[in-house]
Structure 1
């Protein structure tokens, strides 16, 4: 399941837009579930049959379960079947009506005296009334399911846990005019017509799976179809199902699917295992996408694209999410997780797999920078706040709250470190062993680590701490030089996090190189594993002190702390042959200056010198003809507001914003001619999807971003001209993003034109909401209030809610308004949204939960809003846990 791929706010900070599900109706004190309390379920359920009589208002579900005693479980005279809001219409055991059952809370308990039984029961549900979008629900006349993590229990009674694996046979029947397409997991084995305009289809999935991977879709859909021949010769029918008006926008998604299938065979040796693979695009969806076996269900945002309506970032997002969900067929489906504490087993590993795929498709350097930017803007703040947790948590009250950037993105970085230490070939041997050992099983993170030890030849005894310790490690780096030797000293600390006051040192693989000051070259990269509190390394053969390039390629998810001259950072930003290290030097140069400005530690002379150093490097970046435009665009981006705040013990969002905008404006004035020339040169590159055209579009908008801070009148004219000339959404959206933050007349003109041009296209109108809500305009709060009353705003649609309010949480002048109005707005949203869609509501708590890192005035206002939410009597378990942990 994908939750982390989201558009960026205007200053480049990715948003955590997608959510994960959770049950409703929390008790007054939700129970604490501990990893150490895991016990195998007492019964096996090798087979389940589901018969659906479909309707939007009323759907009847008849479930038939074959159950056997689990030899690894405890002796039990009854079976507990989880439910949520269900009432059994009848219960039979071994073909006979049973009175030996009872309800305990939401669960159905059935007495079972023997070793094997067949249980049958019926439930009735109302999909159209399901605003939580969990279980079986209606979306614009279509029926759809979402069962991860615990949504299957809203469809029928079942041991709704990931370690109960069953083969599923599903029969659906309903009116053909309302539901002409009937889809489920696996392969379709039969279909036919019924009486009175009904029809039916039967599907069978031969691969045992947990209930969270069950899927059903019924609706009026059309498909883009293709075929794929696997490496063993299996012919697979591919289909992407959408509404008829969206069919023309599915070509890129199909191309991405085929690329993913080929890549997974070539790089990981994984072959698809069914005769059919279906994807369905749904407009009402809590997440990005879901990997249900053979029937992936996607948010329309990650399927539909054409140059007129989708940006280059949208194209990349679709390619990556299609790959992510397809890769889950092995890393998540064929090998699933034993319990929800092992979530990173499937998600962290699959995020790494989709990152490696995207690197091969788009280019390694730029993709790596994008992934690290996301990690730093979302996961690093998570690691330093009240919601910090390890990638394998020890306890939770609501599993939906652990679908986090830590589990996904940091989890990927942890597995990437194993790959770095082993090398690609030995890492592949480890993954082959993992898949071979655990195919068809519900595995654990420990199983993966053992496979890496045995297959890749790694000693990971100490490395296991990455799975159990929260917090972003800090590595202090110093380099001394004497005679012919350079001495590198490394020190690590793992910060205190909630519930973990004492931390042990962890193995930290650091790729590094020592560059000659005269030539800019080095004698080869080295990998050093820092596994002690302090280590010293000596390097011979340096007559002059070299320049250290460290954590190249971001080989470890740590914060590097070092005292380094700005001249050395300038040198690295100009000369480092590692693209990420070059980017990092530029970021470090800028962050160091901005932190000093915010803390008041620079006089005017020192400040001018620092700005001049930054401008010197920026001029090289903007004008270097040999530099690829895609990389140039990354190097031009200033560090985001959130990342800068992470460098401060206590952050003042207003002061950070003022310092950042002042630097941006100063650079714009210093480099105005170069920025205008860059924009003109890039505007002359023909449109298309090749690397040169995509890079040109990136730098055009980056040039406008700078000019808007230094010469807003010029930027307004140039942005309006770019908007008018645009033949791609990338150029049009980039221009409108800049205009949305300005006060000139073109802002209103182009926003009206954009709306009128794309009215009726939900995904593009989501962009229209986000561009205004996430802008740097001084009246952004008033704009968001007005947009919430717009006829196209719908609080029941997660995409629309996120497009407006999640974009707003990234605004320094809006969300962090000094009077607290932005905080009140988000708190009001949470309270209004929680009874409608709890999982989406809970995703808005973390921005308020960062109050401990904010200056006292705003911190008190943020905490006050959390307390107001906590005082509400009927909070969902999702929101309750997030709020109480944030208040801590």
Structure 2
């Protein structure tokens, strides 16, 4: 039964299932409105379960046709059935076979969970609790079964029939139908079941494993889009090879299928041998996809493939252990992307994403541990905390014990827990064994919510030539956790002299391995390390490589930041120095504006950026990151309280104008040099050059809007790839005027009918920082190409407006909040998962200044009071108000 929002599910209440299901034989006859499902389950009592317990199976909006036990039809008196549950009180004590026949309506399934239709195809999404929308089942991740699936369908409607595992027999049936059988030899939980039936184009290839096995690869897409799947296929093959080389993991089936669909609540799903993807993360061509799209495809293809071992072969015992598969697999896909691209730029991007989504989550009413102890609706815990912070914890573990011990620990994990449903404790035990370390204190990262604040305080003794550095940590209370314990924080450190030289680290307060690695463990509230033989007051480079997911406060003095930007050999901290200088300059403008004082300039920051520009050719991708100002969302997070988006926008834009005027000649020269024609390639180096070109164009426009607009118009007209075209359109969207509207019209005319590109068209219009944008968004909802039934379209317009256009969404007349509320209440009965995720855009509402805070609270209370609100949406709204 789906848990209503007032029923808490607790980790402490976990107990094993009363029954085990050894094999599952599914016979599914596809029909648009009346699909027949016959499930034959081989059950036996679980020795670890409750003796004599009844068999209680989960369902969700199911229509039951009949039940048989060992071939004997049961009468209505033998069971109790509702659309959400099937209970058999008297079942054999010996192993038995249960046959259940149900009917489902794929066309009416607007939740996109279970079996539904996307376009002309049938597909499934069973994570987290979608399998119960197909048949009654023990729908929990610790019940692992071997599946055989027989599918039949109208051959003209669905000539391709796919499921998990390896293909078996196929054949034709009377009435123009046909069938296909699939067998998955590896036990799996029901959430990994998948089925696809449709008329699709296909791109095929092969991969030879390290042991010499030939694996057939296939990516299925809409007819006519096969060429746009070539990059995804290349990314898949690179992922397979990388996992063999880095983790010793070889693929285990004869085939690997990917299917791209246009209606999908998530990014993709790792179903064993049959990954189902949102087509956003499969389809790409230079004309339709940006460099960011290519990088996203590469990462998501890798992520879902890597789940074959970290998620499928070893799954999670219960949904509280979700981080065990997701956090670990995000870490693995980040490492893959770092090896495929620039490791420094990948790290910066990963941290930007963490700070953008997870830090606000940790600081607000929706904060929860990486492994939560309670939930009301599991769909709402597919969060940045579970994924991104979960990945950072795995990275910290590797940092602490070292690469070799980490690899040994992973080898132990794969060997010991293959074919099982594991826990966080199981995972950590492997690394404790590999490293000889007690990781019980480190485990606190999984159970304690909140972002630790790390501070550093240094004291230099000129006479003794020593430098005493004190590290402190503090964690603010979070919902349900008022008292916090100090965590284990690996702090990567370096000291630089006044001439920029890196100093040797000597200290009696640190272990030799800490000094050698420059990695110091902070396990208590404070720790002081006194360094010897320091010739002068040093500059501290702390948290190098972002060695822990913490906030470093306060930032060093501006003079130290400028020195780090010039001399630090850690790319992440060079970038962080630039960001900290920018934040300081922007907030100085905010303070001056509030006081009615003249706005301060930032000559030191501008000079630092000039230095970056002068050396940009050495690493264009890094230069582009370092030259980019913090976003308005970054500023709101750093402000922490009494956030006024209008003030932040004005201060940020004012600083950008100052930089643009000061660096006009340098920016124009770089833009001109990088605009020289060259063939498009999605490789990292080429993408880095285009990224720097875009930043240079934005700087030109900031200093001289007329010149910037002219350059953007020319670039838009001549662009030979979507990256350049969209960058120009984004700038024109910001600058406004007739040029903007003409460009939007031309863009739509060129790409009408291409859903993924039109998503970009909707999204850019939602970001325009003008008072008329709210009405523009409302008008766009009436556009023939807009549909609330397509999650991608909803996210591209409403999601972008609520999350990326702070000034307009947070307009003081409340119009942005009214629009979001209307959409959520309209969408909730049709697709509660998407509605709940839209509502999460209000997670930081208490950080707003009082007027906006009151407006948001009123809308949240209106949503909570809505009769018939889904468990998904009610859970988010209730926790937001708690």
Fold shared per TM-score above 0.5: yes
Q: Secondary structure at the match of 2:618?
A: coil
Q: Structure 1 residues 563 and 719, CA, compared in 2 at 3 Å: closer, same or farther? A: closer
- Counting only pairs closer than 5 Å after superposition, residues 865-884 of structure 1 correspond to structure 2 as 865-884=859-878
- Matched with 1:566 is 558
Instruction: Tell me which of 771, 794, 805 is aligned to 1:811.
Output: 805
SS in 1 for 2:174: coil
Q: Which moved more, 1:323-332 or 1:716-725?
A: 716-725
Task: Quote the Cα distance in structure 2 between the aligned partners of 1:625 and 1:440.
Answer: 49
Structure 2, unpaired ranges of 5+ = 506-516
Q: Given the alignment, which residue of 725, 728, 740 partners 2:721? A: 728
2:420 corresponds to = 441
Partner of 2:587: 595
Q: 2:373 matched to which residue of 1?
A: 394
Give the structure-1-normalised TM-score: 0.95
SS of match in other structure, 2:178? strand
Measure the CA separation in 2 of the matches of 1:855 and 1:655: 11
Counterpart of 1:81 in structure 2 is 57
| Structure 1 residue 686: Cα displacement | 1.8
> Partners of 1:600 and 1:87 in 2: how far apart?
65
Q: Show the counterpart of 2:841.
A: 847
Q: Is the 8 A contact 2:555 2:580 kept in 1?
A: no
- Return 5+ residue gaps in structure 1 as ranges: 1-22
Partner of 2:511: none
1:816-843 Cα shifts (integer Å, max 9, x gaps): 1111111111111100110111000000
Q: Number of aligned pairs?
A: 863
Counterpart of 1:678 in structure 2 is 670
- Given that 1:708 and 1:715 are in contact with CA atoms closer than 8 Å, whether structure 2 keeps it comes out as yes
Q: Which has the higher contact order (CA 8 A, sep 6+)?
A: 1
Residue 615 (structure 1) aligns with = 606
- Report the Cα distance in structure 1 between the residues aligned to 2:502 and 2:490, rounded to whole angstroms: 22
**What's the CA shift for 1:778?**
4.2
Distance 1:187 1:815, change over 3 A: same
Select which of 457, 480, 486 maps to 1:505: 486
- What does the per-residue CA deviation read over 1:417-445, in whole Å, with 9 as the maximum and x for residues that have no partner? 00111111210100110111100000001
- The answer to whether 1:661 aligns with 2:642 is no
Encode CA deviations 1:155-214: one digit per residue, 9 max, x unaligned.
000000000000000001111000000000000111111112111000000000000000
1:74-127 C-alpha deviation (Å, 9 max, x unpaired): 113421110001122011101111121112571101231322110001000110
2:286 is the alignment partner of 1:315: no
2:497 to 502, 516, 527: 516
Query: Relative to structure 1, is the Cα distance of residues 775 and 704 closer, same or farther in structure 2, using a 3 angstrom cutoff?
Result: farther
Alpha-carbon distance in 1 for matches of 2:427, 2:524: 24
Asked if structure 1 preserves the Cα contact closer than 8 Å seen for 2:210 and 2:244, the reply is yes
Pairing of 1:616-655 with structure 2 (within 5 A): 616-650=607-641, 651-655=643-647
Q: Residues 169 and 203 of structure 1 are in contact (CA less than 8 Å); yes or no, is this contact kept in structure 2? A: yes
Find the counterpart in structure 2 of residue 20 from structure 1: none
- Match of 1:7? none
Query: Contact 2:503–2:534 at 8 Å: present in 1 too?
Result: no
Q: Conserved in 1, the CA contact under 8 Å of 2:545 and 2:573? A: yes
How far apart are 1:606 and its partner, in Å? 9.4
Partner residue, 1:782: 775
Q: Matched residue of 1:137: which SS?
A: strand
Q: How many Å apart are 1:685 and its aligned residue?
A: 5.7
Q: Which residue of 2 aligns with 1:41?
A: 17
Query: Secondary structure at 2:263's aligned position in 1?
Result: coil
- Identify which range, 128-137 or 778-787, moves more after superposition: 778-787
Please list the CA deviations of residues 613-651 of structure 1 after superposition, one character each: whole Å capped at 9, or x if unmatched: 110011111222553111111111111222222222411
Write out aligned runs for 1:273-284 (5 A).
273-284=252-263
- The equivalent of 2:232 in structure 1 is 253
Which of 554, 565, 572 is residue 580 of structure 1 equivalent to? Answer: 572
Distance 1:599 1:159 in 2: 58
Q: Is the 8 A contact 2:616 2:623 kept in 1?
A: no
The separation in 2 between residues aligned to 1:578 and 1:311, in whole angstroms, is: 28
CA distance in 2, matches of 1:286, 1:204: 27
Does the 8 Å CA contact 1:742/1:777 hold for their aligned counterparts?
Answer: no
Contact 2:63-2:104 at 8 Å conserved across structures:
no
Paired with 1:388 and 1:692, the residues of 2 have a C-alpha distance of 38
Q: 1:381-530 to 2 correspondence within 5 Å?
A: 381-483=360-462, 484-523=465-504, 526-530=518-522
What is the Cα deviation at residue 357 of structure 1?
0.3
Counterpart in the other structure of 1:103 = 81
Partners of 2:458 and 2:470 within 8 A in 1: yes
Contact 1:685 1:696 in 2 (8 A): no
Q: In 1, are the aligned partners of 2:544 and 2:570 still within 8 Å (CA)?
A: yes
Equivalent position to 1:688, from 669, 680, 689: 680
2:853 to 851, 854, 859: 859
For residue 823 of structure 1, the aligned residue among 817, 840, 854 is 817
CA contact (8 A) 1:127 1:143 kept: yes
Q: Partner of 1:129: helix, strand, or coil?
A: coil
Matched, 1:190 2:169: yes
> Which deviations, in whole Å up to 9, do the C-alpha atoms of 1:508-527 show, x marking residues without a partner?
00111001221443437500
Whole-angstrom CA distance in 1 between matches of 2:569 and 2:617: 13
1:433-488 Cα deviation digits (max 9, x unpaired): 01111000000011111111112333211111101110000011112211211111
Cα pair 2:18 2:53 within 8 Å, conserved: no
Change (3 A) 1:117 1:307: same
**Paired residue for 1:181?**
160
Report if aligned partners of 2:700, 2:707 keep a CA contact under 8 Å in 1: yes
Aligned to 1:19: none
Map residues 66-465 of structure 1 onto 2, 5 A cutoff: 66-99=42-75, 100-103=78-81, 106-110=84-88, 111-465=90-444
Q: Which residue of 2 aligns with 1:6?
A: none
Alpha carbons of 1:196 and 1:601: their partners in 2 closer, same or farther (altered >3 Å)?
closer
| Shift, 1:313, TM fit | 0.6
| In structure 2, distance between residues paired with 1:883 and 1:603 | 36
Provide, for residues 565-619 of structure 1, a one-character-per-residue CA deviation record: whole Å limited to 9, x for no partner.
Answer: 211111111221110000001111111222233244998999645x111100111
- CA 602–669 in structure 1, closer or farther in 2 if over 3 Å, else same: farther
Task: Give the 3-state SS of the residue equivalent to 2:482 in structure 1.
Answer: coil
Match for residue 691 of structure 2? Answer: 698
Answer whether contact 1:487 1:536 (CA < 8 A) is retained.
yes
Q: Say if 1:105 and 1:785 are closer, same or farther in 2 by CA, change over 3 A.
A: closer
What do the CA deviations read for 1:208-255 (whole angstroms, capped 9, x no partner)?
Answer: 000000000000012111111111111111000111111010110000
Distance in 2 between residues matched to 1:491 and 1:685, nearest whole Å: 52
- Give 2:36's match in structure 1, choosing from 24, 39, 60: 60
